[in-house]
Amino acid sequence: MQFAGVTITPETVQLTREHFAALHNACASECQSGGITVNDPALYIDRCNRNAAHALSGRFDTSFTFMQRAHYLQTGDCVALLP
């Protein structure tokens, strides 16, 4: 997989998947603890859990956000959204 002239390694892909899954899990945990208020907590938590599973399964691997984060994790450089 290539992005911005860099070959993204399988290890970086896995780290990036874990990064996004952790973000979704943190959102679910914050809702469960009462740190945030949402209209339908059960639905929100379910959606966060599904998105975490999707992130780990690779469903989001081709999104720009995923590729931008993978590039950053691998190189330390952030690719601008608008050059």
Q: What is the dihedral of CA 6, 9, 13, 15, to 10 degrees?
A: -110
Backbone angles phi, psi at 58, to 5 degrees: 95, 10
The tens digit of pLDDT for each residue in 10-48 reads 999 999 999 999 999 999 999 999 999 999 999 999 999
Q: Tell if the pTM clears 0.75, that is, is over it.
A: yes
Both tokens assigned to 37: 């208020």
* Domain regions of the chain by residue span: 9-75
